[in-house]
Structure formats: structure tokens, C-alpha cells
Amino acid sequence: MNQIKIKKMKININNSEKLQSALDRAQKRSQTRTIDCEDFKKISLEIESRLKELKIAKVRWKGAKFHVDLYATIFPSQYKGIPKSTQFSLERGSSDWFVVSIHRGNCDHGVCNHIIFENENEFKQYYSF
């Protein structure tokens, strides 16, 4: 099984220039299931909406980590090959979201959930339903 080398970084989602450079490196020679700079902002808004639904106070968001695969799906068994997509991880800073990794990885996870709250257990204590 191939090991995926994930380069650690910390790029503010509002820094389009650095994000585009990182995307260009990660998506080199990729033509399908790619992302662009706008996807980071869209996903961060979706994540913020989910955190608000969980009624977690905004001051507690710092350190929240999410893994995102926009193309996560279940592929039919007739599909030949292993589909790959550009995936990334976001981490909340004190006032902004930061991209901490971008890589190409398998998008057939057997699930259709494209946003995974990586350290959710640390935040469950702040839920208020």
C-alpha cells in the first residue's frame, strides 16, 4: 500500500496566493476531482454553520480540526482503479481558519461524508442542545 506523504503547513484561507501555490503543487498532473481556492472559504462557512448548530461558542472554536474530501463517495465495484481526490485539513485559529495540509488521496472511503471533525471528542463538552 502506498504511503501518502502529507506536508504540514499553516496557510490562512484568506491568503489566495499561498493557497494557490500549495494547490498547484498538490494537484500537479491531476485533472479530475480537484479543488480551487474558493472551496476553502465555502467549506469554512459550512463548518462554522455546523459548529453554530452544535451551539459551541465561537470563542471555543480555536483548535478545532476538520479533514475535508469534497469527492468522498462510495464507488461501484465495477469501477476500475482507485479514484483519488484532492483533500485538505483545516484548523481553527483564534480568529481565522488555516489550511494545515493538502494532499491527493483515495476518495473511496466507503462513506459519503465529506467533512470529518477530527478532534470532536475534545469539543463534545461544549455542546449545548
Q: Averaged in consecutive runs of 10 residues, what is the pLDDT profile of the chain (129 residues)?
A: 60 96 94 95 96 95 96 76 90 97 84 86 88
Is 60 among the domain residues? Answer: yes
1 belongs to a structural domain: no
User: Would you say residue 127 lies in a domain?
Assistant: no
Tell me 92's DSSP state: E
Domains in the chain, number: 1
Residue 101 covered by a domain = yes
pTM exceeding the 0.85 threshold for the entire prediction: yes
Confirm whether 65 is domain-assigned.
Answer: yes
Q: The domain containing residue 101 runs over which residues?
A: 8-122
If you search the block for the grid coordinates 503543487, which residue do you land on? Answer: 25
